[in-house]
Structure 1
Amino acid sequence: MKYTNPVIPGFYPDPSVCRVDEDYYLVNSSFAYFPGVPIWHSKDIVNWRQVGHCLTRESQLQLEGSPISGGIYAPTLRYHKERYYMVTTNVDHGGHFYVWAHDPSGEWSDPIYVEQAGIDPSIFFDDDGKVYFTSTGAVQSKGIYQCEIDIETGQKLSETRLIWTGTGGAFPEGPHHYKVNGYYYLMCAEGGTEYGHMVTIARSDNPYGPYESAPINPILSHRSLHHPIHATGHADLIEAHDGKWWAVFLGIRPVGYPYRHHLGRETFLAPVHWTEDGWPIIGNNGIVDLEMEATGLPLVPWVDDVEVDHFEYQELGLKWSFIRSAKQVDWSLTEKPSYLALRGSNAGLDDPGTPAFIGCRQRHWNCDISTSLQYRPQEGDEAGLAIYMDERHYYTIALTIRNGERVIALCKHIGSMKIVKHSIPVSDAEVELKIKAVAETYQFYYKSLDETWQLLGDAETQFVSTEVAGGFTGVFFGLYNQSLETTAYFDWFRYSIKD
């Protein structure tokens, strides 16, 4: 079969996967976005559809004061005795915890905390009933640590021990345990989640080691390659129900030179082959491509997402996210039927609080987003479309009032610089706004009723890239309102793929 990478495009990093009979489920990191930890379902490991989130309640997910690249780090998903377990770290509130559910698309339990330092936790259910909790140590520890826990309470049943320091690469992290043919395999990422990223593996006949490093390490890495995919790492292995092995892992697709990427770290897939000596290797001797051919399960594609959201249901679709909190955003789908009503908040897009922003990930280089907005702003109010990386790196096109005049304005906020680049007067309180995205540029358009689209200006993608902004996230497209008095009504939102 042939398939295309990434299998989950856009800001969906740190994938972890599990299989239950012939069904596959996968989770990703979500950082300071709410709800947390998106969960996906597949029948063939290639085609994925989102079925929910693991963290949907404030009791599960506290993000107050979290930086955009704080919050929820690297989850692991596992299944044991009719329960799905998702273990992760809230780096700003409480540390390691796990939740469980009988139905991965339904409600998950309240958090069960584990007192162990570090990030990137994983759990391993051994054949003898013991449950091992493995994580990256604190930064200064530079290794993989493990203890045994009571899965019902999270209580530690043993002291935490250092079990492996990796192969010498920086920041050994993202550990996962597997038991294959009597060996305990410990896989981790090294080199940092940037261009030196890689996957390494070791094995032992005891879960605490000592661990023998694979002579073929790293088993996945695109370091120093001239290749469209970079920063490959943080992998998880899965044996399909036909006996074939696969790995899901993160990677990036940078544009331009020097490299820069703004879609974030994405979820990639590659077949896994085992050597005669019993070591796994990912892809083509550690290399993966955008187009892959592999022997695998019959493909089972899902119906594509609807291009236009008319806001006609009682709940928002699964693609929508809030910054830090949904509870603190004043929005409604019933106040005006088939409209999203969005009121402002005390926090703007440049604040470390909860702005009136509802967004979805940019998942394709070449795409158009557009919306129809009804809004009667007062002086200083604004509402419209945002391209958002973090509170210091974003673009907006908005309907606003400036010096007593209703205008469409294009604003750029890059680091300490914030400017209104272009503005033009409009007479109507109902306008349509559009952003055309290509790999290196955004173009911003507007139109009033019964008129044609007019280009207002453009902006570079590089200034909302990770290489400029820093952090671990990717770009969001969002609807926003910065007003304490005036409600913005969005009639629809369109996301059109142009690839």
Structure 2
Amino acid sequence: MALALAGSAWAANSTYHNPILPGWHSDPSCVQVEGTFYCVTSTFISFPGLPIYASRDLLNWKHVSHVWNREAQLPGYSWATAGQQNGMYAATIRHRDGVFYVICEYLGVANKDAGVIFTTTNPLDDASWSNAVTFPAPKIDPDLFWDDNGQAYVATQGVQLQAIDTTTGEVSEPAIPLWNGTGGVWPEGPHIYHRQHGNESYYYLMIAEGGTAEDHSITIARSRNLTGPYTAFENNPILTNRGTNEYFQTVGHGDLFQDTKGNWWGVALATRSGPEFVSYPMGRETVLYPATWNVDVNGGWPVLQPVRGEMEGWELPEPTRDVPGTGPFVDDPDVYDFGEEKGVGKKGKEGEIPRNLVYWRVPKKGAVSVVKGKGLRLVPGRTSLSGEPGGSDPASKAISFIGRRQTDSLFTYSVDLDFDPKKDGQEAGVTAFLTQMSNIQLGLANVDGELSFRFNVSGKVKTKAVPKKWKNKTVRLEIKLAEPGTEYTFSASLADGSKDDKVTLGTGSVKLLSGGSGSFVGTLIGVYATCNGAGKGPECPSETPDAYFTRWRYTGNGQYISAEELIPSVFTRPN
């Protein structure tokens, strides 16, 4: 079988750990340009969307930009998106003649589903990403491929092919069917590669099939002509963990690329769930595997090394964090002192929102900002995290929330809060958030006229009065996930460091934030503010106080790479 050849296809020169992009980083696509690797992943309804990560060693990844970072790039879509897992589906990143292209589909807006193409000559700069060129996209997961004559083509779920003008979005009709996979459900995520083997020239079509859960896999076919017919590899799938007891499950939706030495690598999504597939709060993460094309051993078909927590493969580039652009590395802790004169700490500047923080849909104008001397300001929204009461105004879908991906199996997160709620329903706090239907909240709230802690586990609420000596003081709220990584613990203390006053307000199982209403996404850790339906339209009553957050800290405390093996959160940190 093809997978059995993996260990003999290359010398074991390097060892490293998966995932390389921990936390919610699904559907990865990558390219290498002049020694720097660039990857993009899915973001669905979150905003800014389509993060670009850059690395020079394949292990240290800096978050250098978001492709979709301004509502004006695709106006009117975000607030019109109702579904929790709609939005920016799987993207492909490619580079040609000095231009970076990211092609994607935005899904879930009635009568407005659209393929989108963004371009830039500088992927290190948010502002340089273009407005979207839209094209008709009845299918998801577009790939972008240029033939030798310079004609661009888009391949989408199904799998079907159309010529495309990348400057206008015009596509050829009808679409040409290429290959429907090996019989697994949802043949999707196509990528086309043109390879020369001696005198043999083939177009390879690599796809995902079997759905994105336990049966997920990567399969491949090839043809001497771009438009087919395509012949399936007899030993498909070329990559999967289905039917195994491996800790990394759902392996699929891959892309292939080369390093500067000509070695081939691949990325895919995977879930750290084990075969039980019930506890995986970080959702689908990005893993790296070596690949080889060996004519003598495998007839010119690619061999992909099976995904594990510890990997061996090609000699990796020298480890370095000397990566161009600004932004945090994916495994950096958060040390954000919002509102201080000197800025938000070493990860950002005064007035800026750190790049690794995201919203759930585009926020209302002015809903989130950094105010000198006060902190990260959240203007409470009438709509709560659960989406209630909503309303007919499109802005009512926006919630006052900002968070970062949970990127560690074990972590500690804390933030200081100044908030003085005067009326029932006024609330601000911290949350472990999967979707608006699945989240855990700890808020400081006015409950029946009394300042209280309000702990909410997916709609099950309990309250506890705030100690009288805490009133009018800054409160520190904490979320912690400790060994064995099965329950979030929510607690509160005074921000002045009075440890003896720390109180635990509740716990919630990671199973609550695994799959269910968010099988495509992953847990975000962050803050929120709401008046829980008071007011009219999308607005809270004018007397509703703003919430100010300072001293934002997130620290990874460990990564599981198997059900039993825990390693430090920082996978690779060069001297």
Same-fold call, TM cutoff 0.5: yes
Counterpart contact for 1:408–1:426, Cα < 8 Å: no
Residue in structure 2 matched with residue 22 of structure 1 by the alignment: 35
What is the aligned length? 484
What are the Cα deviations for residues 30-80 of structure 1, in whole angstroms up to 9, with x where unaligned?
Answer: 000011100010112232111010001112242124222100100000001
SS in 2 for 1:469: helix
8 Å contact kept, 2:333–2:556: no
**Any conservation in 1 of the 2:374–2:548 contact (CA below 8 Å)?**
no
Distance in structure 2 (CA, Å) of the matches to 1:259 and 1:443:
19
Q: Which residue of 1 aligns with 2:347?
A: none
- Structure 2 residue aligned with 1:322: 359
Q: Percent of counterpart pairs with the same letter?
A: 33
Aligned to 1:447: 493
CA contact (8 A) 1:382 1:400 kept: yes
Counting helix residues as a fraction of each chain, which structure ranks higher? 2
| Residue 105 of structure 1: aligned partner | 124
Q: 4+ residue stretches of structure 1 with deviation over 4 A?
A: 255-258
Distance 1:249 1:126, change over 3 A: same
Partners of 2:72 and 2:273 lie apart in 1 by: 37
Match of 1:167 among 182, 187, 198: 182
Structure 1 match to 2:56: 43
Q: Could you say if the C-alpha distance between residues 246 and 221 of structure 1 is closer, same or farther in structure 2, counting changes exceeding 3 Å?
A: same
Distance in 1 separating the partners of 2:386 and 2:366: 16
Q: Which amino acid aligns with 2:267?
A: V
The TM-score, its normalising length taken from structure 2, stands at: 0.81
Deviation at 1:116, TM superposition (A): 3.5
SS at match of 2:512: helix
The residue that corresponds to 1:139 in the other structure is none
CA deviation vs aligned residue, 1:381-431 (integer Å, no higher than 9, x gap): 110101111111111111111122111221111xxxx22234232332321
- The whole-number CA distance in structure 2 between the counterparts of 1:44 and 1:412 is 41
2:216 paired with 1:216:
no
* CA–CA separation in structure 2 for the residues paired with 1:6 and 1:154: 35
Unpaired segments of 5 or more residues in structure 1? 137-142
Which SS does the other structure have where 2:72 is aligned? coil
Residue 306 of structure 1 and its aligned partner are, at CA, apart by 4.5
Query: Which residue of structure 1 aligns with residue 563 of structure 2?
Result: none
Which ranges in structure 2 are unaligned for 5 or more consecutive residues? 1-13, 322-328, 344-349, 391-396, 532-539, 559-575
Counterpart residue type for residue 400 of structure 2: A
| Counterparts of 1:449 and 1:211, CA distance in 2 | 63
Aligned equivalents of 1:368, 1:173: Cα separation in 2: 37
Q: CA deviation at 1:315?
A: 1.1
Tell me the distance in 1 between the aligned counterparts of 2:278 and 2:360.
28
1:203 partner SS: strand
Aligned equivalent of 2:550: 491
| C-alpha spacing 1:255/1:420, structure 2 compared with 1 (3 Å) | farther
Q: CA offset at residue 240 of structure 1? A: 1.3
Letter of the aligned partner of 1:279 in structure 2?
W
* TM-score (normalised: structure 1): 0.94
| Deviations, residues 80-131 of structure 1 (Å, cap 9, x unaligned) | 1111000000012432111100001222111112223210001101111111
Bigger Cα displacement from structure 2, 305-314 vs 271-280: 305-314
From 255, 280, 283, the equivalent of 2:302 is 280
Query: Which residue identity does 2:314 align to in structure 1?
Result: T
Q: Provide the alpha-carbon RMSD of the alignment.
A: 1.7
Alignment of 1:116 with 2:137, yes or no, is: yes
Which residue of 9, 15, 19 corresponds with 1:6? 19
Compare relative contact order (CA 8 Å, sep 6+) and give the higher one, 1 or 2.
2
Q: CA deviation at 1:257?
A: 4.2
Letter in 2 for 1:423: K
Provide the C-alpha distance between the structure 2 equivalents of 1:320 and 1:92, rounded to a whole number of angstroms.
23
Aligned residue number for residue 342 of structure 1:
378
Q: What is the rounded CA distance, in whole Å, between the counterparts of 1:241 and 1:482 in structure 2?
A: 50
Assess, with a 3 A threshold, how the Cα gap between structure 1 residues 408 and 359 changes in structure 2: closer, same or farther: same
For 2:162, the equivalent position in structure 1 comes to 147
- Is the Cα contact below 8 Å between 1:310 and 1:338 reproduced in 2? no
In structure 1, what is the Cα distance between the partners aligned to 2:530 and 2:318? 45
Structure-2 residue corresponding to 1:140: none
Residue 511 of structure 2 aligns to a residue whose secondary structure is helix
Name the amino acid aligned to 1:445. S
In 1, distance between residues paired with 2:225 and 2:137?
21
Contact 1:242 1:297 in 2 (8 A): no
**Other-structure match for 2:217:** 198
Alpha-carbon separation, structure 2, partners of 1:395 and 1:75: 30
